[in-house]
A and B are shown apart, each in its own frame.
Chain A
Amino acid sequence: MHVHSYEKIWLALGLGLILLLIGSVTYGAVGPGVSMVAADQPTVDPTALDEDDRFAEPRVEQVGENEYEAYVVAFQFGFEPDPIVLPANSTVTFMVTSRDVTHGFEVVGTNANTMVIPGEVSTLTVETGGPTEYGVICNEYCGAAHHGMEGSIEVVPQEEFEESAGGSSDGDGSGGDQ
């Protein structure tokens, strides 16, 4: 088979580009440590979330020094807790599940983004940075009022978080806007 020399050059460049792309993704995974949502949690029964000690009462909990876990339930058509109040400058692992259909969990304007599939728990670790507010939206179609499904995240100073975390941070935005 005759392959023209220009064609050979092009082929070589193409292969080079492909290897470069694979390399950059691999570097992203092992270098800066961008890890993927994966299969690290066992499945849950979406109709029995009230028997799961993480999701019976969706909340934010401290699990280590400066380390927190946020248990979030997505449902038609909202998120719980709402707002999700997080301490500034800490490492937070979101654990998100759904009690009905497939949803999305996207912190708008950031790369914190995952599918939320009933029966599965998505985990996603972020650094909160300084105090601020974020919108959270469901970015997978989930039914007739999908467009109304939103939540929010309030990153508050550590002290403020601790004050409000005495009780449960479930619900009324206590940490946020006094």
Chain B
Amino acid sequence: MTATADAPAATADDGTAPDDGTGGSEPGTETFYDRFPEAARIVRATFLGAFLAFAVGTTFGIIQTLHRTGIARPFSSVDYYTFLTAHGVFLVLSFTIFFLVGVFTWALVRSLDRPLVNTRFSWAWYGLMATGMTLTGLTILAGFTSAVDVSADVLFTFYAPLQAHPLFYGGLAVFLVGTWLAGLDWWRTFLAWRREHPDERIPLQAFMVLTTTIMWYVATSALAISVLFFLLPWSLGLIETVNPTLTRTLFWFFGHPVVYFWLMPAYLLWYTVLPSIAGGRLFSDPLARVVFVLFLLLSTPVGIHHQYLDPGIAEGFKFVAMTNTMFLLLPSLLTAFTVVASVEYGARVRGGTGLFGWLRTLPWRDPAFTGMMLAGLMFAAGGFSGMVNAGMNINYLIHNTIWVTGHFHLTVGTAVALTFMAATYWLWPQITNKPIYSRQIGLAQVVLWFAGMALMSNAMHAQGLLGVPRRTAEPTYSGFEYGSAFGGYGELNLQVAIGGTILFASAVLFLSNVVLTMGNSRTDGLAETLAEPISGSEDAPLVLDNIRLWGGIAVLLVLLAYALPIVAIVQRGGLFGPGGEAYPMVLDALAILAEQAPDVLVERMPDVLGGGWAGGWP
């Protein structure tokens, strides 16, 4: 292929051909939609699934925000937990994962420059994911009505002995199988490519997809065991009890690497798309590979850091998890360097000069560029609060406070979500041949998200330091008041509420822009190319591409980190726990209350018992 005039990324460059070294060879005049129409339709479908979840999830987000802060409580505080369960599940399981399977499908097919092996198989995994998530989602939403005896107010962590309706767990299992088959689809397509190109290096994007897929298999193994062997049979009444510490540990075995499952597609976009949008090139292909290998190796044997404050897990195991967690900082630090260097290179190619002057020449009017840059900036902030979380002993101060919520709205809620929105402005035309309805609205939207999150998340961090808990409908209590640091609880509430409102406005703008874009007619000339890395794959040691080796080491590390803790937990409490009852969240909450709550407590909960509007607390 040759350099074409509509490949601005590389023509401004040092004269080399704008071939994309990230693997594929799509000529600058063909979009993904032109070249792989079937795969494009699948990617489009996954994105639409993601946006639906995003729409419902963010609507619930603003409802929660206004409820928690006491500004508006149109629903009862009991319903709060139904909203919260849905917000968690829809946003971090549905929105993120639907979007990322789309990104991975696009990246794999594009970089291998080869269609998926069997499109019907691809639709099958999509169908499973959609069916599973619909089941789980409807089970959660059924919690709003007492007309059906179905609900799942267990939050997205579903800690036993809180028990959801079996359909909740069943739906999750089906969804999970769908994602496994998606991974299989990518691997099969890769292996077919390998037969056709026995001696070529794995293209960078495909490498990223394949390593992340292996990480996903390792991570979800524990979740599958927890759901299929314990929680689902237990919710069906086939087994009497479960071991709460065991199912919790299995959840966090999955619960940390899932974070990297969300993050890896964002990294993929930062590494392979962002430099091109900036008019530059990725700094180093080999280091990008190293980073993805490190994530494959390190992202699972750390989950116990979510359980620093759990009884029943020895301190030594927590220490191991802490050490691994700190090392997990390394690939993210490397990413920060590479991404900034690649973008700076782009700016200098565009004529930027000076220590910081080059920043001015960057394409800040492009919503895809600005959105991803702001997302990266937020990720750096999230990294700092993450280091605090990771310190075992400081963790006491902030564990389960709203600080943690502030932290992951920076990471998954912005670094990932904002990157996905920004990428949509770039990717959507590629997969549909339709230009974005309004790039100005897009630009305003990404800036608003950044501003709203800065406000909301910062105030959440501060409230956390005052001891304000997360996951509660009414964080005010009758027995005490919070300290007055950082402007005090009330003022921080106001910041949370304003920030949340801005975020919601941003979400509405994003979704409207997508819907209006769908109404556009297809045109030509939207094709974008990706520029080749400065230091290409020929520089990368061959062993990096030995994904089987890395997968093997990853499994070994997981065994080292988890075999002993899990054996210890089972020895202590038994496979099915030291006894205890199930607490089905399908029961009428009011009945439980009336039965169990002492009188004092009942007085304190006027709104719970009243069911409707929240009465102000004394």
A-side residues, CB < 8 A to B, are 1-4, 6-7, 10-11, 14-15, 17-18, 21-22, 24-25, 28-29, 34-39, 41-48, 75-78, 100-102, 104, 106, 108-123, 133-135, 137-152
| CB neighbours of A39 from chain B (8 A) | 311-314, 568, 572
Known: A102-B161, A120-B310, A139-B472. 20 other contacts (CB 8 A): A18-B326, A28-B393, A36-B318, A37-B308, A43-B578, A75-B596, A100-B581, A100-B583, A106-B400, A109-B482, A117-B248, A119-B573, A137-B477, A138-B469, A139-B401, A141-B471, A141-B472, A147-B474, A148-B608, A150-B477
- Per a CB cutoff under 8 Å, which of B84, B311, B467 touches A106? B467
- Per a CB cutoff under 8 Å, which of B323, B330, B474, B483 touches A22? B323
B580 engages A45 (CB within 8 Å): yes
B482 engages A108 (CB within 8 Å): yes
- Contacting residues of chain B (267-323) with chain A, CB-CB under 8 angstroms: 283-284, 286-287, 307-315, 318-319, 322-323
| CB neighbours of A75 from chain B (8 A) | 596
Residue among B334, B393, B483, B540 with most chain A CB within 10 A? B393
- Contacting residues of chain B (390-413) with chain A, CB-CB under 8 angstroms: 390-394, 396-397, 399-401
Give me 19 A-to-B residue pairs in the complex whose CB atoms sit less than 8 angstroms apart, sorted by A's number. Answer: A1-B539, A6-B341, A11-B334, A14-B333, A21-B326, A38-B315, A39-B312, A39-B568, A43-B578, A77-B596, A78-B601, A102-B159, A119-B243, A141-B472, A143-B153, A145-B78, A145-B597, A147-B472, A148-B604
Task: Knowing A114-B311, A119-B580 are in contact, say whether A101-B161 is a contact too (CB < 8 A).
Answer: yes
B244 engages A119 (CB within 8 Å): yes
Q: Which 5 A-B pairs have the closest CB atoms?
A: A135-B480, A144-B589, A139-B469, A139-B400, A122-B311
Question: What number of residue pairs across chains A and B have CB atoms under 8 A from each other?
Answer: 255
A117 engages B396 (CB within 8 Å): no
- Per a CB cutoff under 8 Å, which of B284, B391, B589 touches A24? B391
B333 engages A108 (CB within 8 Å): no
A22 engages B333 (CB within 8 Å): no
Task: Decide if B329 is an interface residue (CB 8 Å cutoff).
Answer: yes
Chain B's closest residue to A110 (CB) is B467
Alpha-carbon separation in the docked complex, A144 to B302 (Å): 31
Binary contact readout B440-484 vs A (1 if CB under 8 angstroms, 0 otherwise):
000000000000000000000000001101111111011110110
B608 engages A109 (CB within 8 Å): no
Alpha-carbon separation in the docked complex, A117 to B577 (Å): 11
A78 engages B608 (CB within 8 Å): no
A140 engages B467 (CB within 8 Å): no
Chain A's closest residue to B485 (CB) is A109
Task: Knowing A45-B578, A137-B477 are in contact, say whether A38-B333 is a contact too (CB < 8 A).
Answer: no
Interface size on B, residues (CB 8 A): 91
Chain B's closest residue to A1 (CB) is B286
Alpha-carbon separation in the docked complex, A140 to B89 (Å): 17
B162 engages A113 (CB within 8 Å): no
Alpha-carbon separation in the docked complex, A7 to B341 (Å): 10
Q: How close is A99's CB to chain B, nearest CB, in angstroms?
A: 8
- Contacting residues of chain B (144-183) with chain A, CB-CB under 8 angstroms: 153, 155, 159, 161-162
A147 engages B580 (CB within 8 Å): no
Q: How close is B81's CB to chain A, nearest CB, in angstroms?
A: 7
- Per a CB cutoff under 8 Å, which of B393, B482, B598 touches A78? B598
A145 engages B572 (CB within 8 Å): no
- Per a CB cutoff under 8 Å, which of A2, A21, A37, A143 touches B310? A37
Task: Decide if B486 is an interface residue (CB 8 Å cutoff).
Answer: no
Binary contact readout B76-91 vs A (1 if CB under 8 angstroms, 0 otherwise):
0110110010000000
Task: Knowing A78-B597, A141-B155 are in contact, say whether A134-B480 is a contact too (CB < 8 A).
Answer: yes
Residue among A24, A43, A141, A151 with most chain B CB within 10 A? A141
B315 engages A36 (CB within 8 Å): yes
Chain B's closest residue to A145 (CB) is B608
Q: How close is A102's CB to chain B, nearest CB, in angstroms?
A: 5
Chain B's closest residue to A149 (CB) is B601
Alpha-carbon separation in the docked complex, A75 to B601 (Å): 12
Q: How close is B478's CB to chain A, nearest CB, in angstroms?
A: 7
Task: Knowing A111-B397, A144-B608 are in contact, say whether A10-B480 is a contact too (CB < 8 A).
Answer: no
| CB neighbours of A141 from chain B (8 A) | 81, 84, 155, 162, 471-472
A10 engages B593 (CB within 8 Å): no
A35 engages B315 (CB within 8 Å): yes
